[in-house]
A and B are shown apart, each in its own frame.
Chain A
Amino acid sequence: MLDDVEVSSAKSPKAKPVQADWTSASNISSYGGAAHTIYEKLIFNRHRFEYKPSKGPNAGKWVPIWKTNKLGETIRYVDALPEEGYQVLKNSKNAVAKYANGKNLTRAGKVIGTIGIIASVYDGVTSKDGWKNHHTADVVIGVVMTFGPVGWIGGLTWFAADMITQGITGKSITENLFD
């Protein structure tokens, strides 16, 4: 008897509030990359080629890490590998360390980008919903940001826009655009 009873309701199901998925796969590497970019480009790069000597008349002041001759011209030498370009002459241990820090910081950003690309591909192919267009976009953006000429403006702009988009729609830019 109970099987014949139809239950109906005039109430429509409550709409779920839109929640931003701050931890979506497409954004983890972006967060790390963006934090790195902000530090490198906005904080570190203000004095990228300067250092503070601990001794001498310029102690505690920002001075160029490049060694200069009497005419004030920078003295550098060409490294054996052409892509290394011109290297700083050893002005002081601190200067060399500062130069190395800058180089390592840039390299760290590239490593973050690289592992982000590999993880994005793997995550995309093993995703329950299958590979989606936003995975493609994530990989393309990762490749361009890590290996391409797109600089910090692109990275920061993307990060800010993605944050805003997620806050409003609950989806990342690429999910909104492609899925």
Chain B
Amino acid sequence: MYNLSFYIIYRTLNALGGKDSVFTATLFTTVLIGLHLMGVGAILVYLNVIDSFPRFSDSSFYNKLYLYIPSLVLVGLVFMYFTKERAKRIIEKYEQRDQAISFLNVLFFLVLLAVPIFLLATIDVRGK
């Protein structure tokens, strides 16, 4: 799922003439994973497994400062997965397929992107 997303982003960036596409595609995949984590959290709130998303501070400034730490950890973890060797393997694997960038695959990627946004937009994760 994330390998395919990575490849689609990589190919898109390359088509747009981007430099350092593997690095940028990895970061974009990080954003996607971050959204999915928040989407899962939203489902947990909806199912009353958790009350609400934790907010570290009422002040947006401090809240965001705290949020930078887990975000940075997430970036690190994703980069540990998408190593240069693995990125190369993924790209080669999808390059060998005739229909890697097919309508269905792109649609799947867009759905992956849209679903967590939809969940976050419709579920009030601030609790009661």
A29 close to B27 (CB less than 8 A): no
**A40-48, A67-75, A93-101, A120-128: which lies at the B interface?**
A120-128
Contacts of B88 in A (CB 8 A): 80-81
Interface string of A45-82 (1 = CB under 8 A from B): 00000000000000000000000000000000000111
A126 close to B55 (CB less than 8 A): yes
B46 within 8 A of A: no
B22 close to A83 (CB less than 8 A): yes
B38 close to A83 (CB less than 8 A): no
Q: How far is the CB of B25 from chain A (nearest CB, A)?
A: 9
Chain B contact patch, size range: 35 or more
* A29 to B61 alpha-carbon distance, docked (Å): 10
A23 within 8 A of B: yes
**Minimal Cβ-Cβ distance residue in A for B59:** A23
B107 within 8 A of A: no
B58 close to A128 (CB less than 8 A): yes
**Minimal Cβ-Cβ distance residue in A for B42:** A125
Chain B positions 27-56 with a Cβ under 8 Å from a chain A Cβ? 27-28, 30-31, 34-35, 38, 42, 52-55
Chain A: residues with CB nearer than 8 A to chain B?
23-25, 28-29, 80-85, 103, 106-107, 110-111, 113-115, 117-123, 125-128, 130-131, 143, 146-147, 149
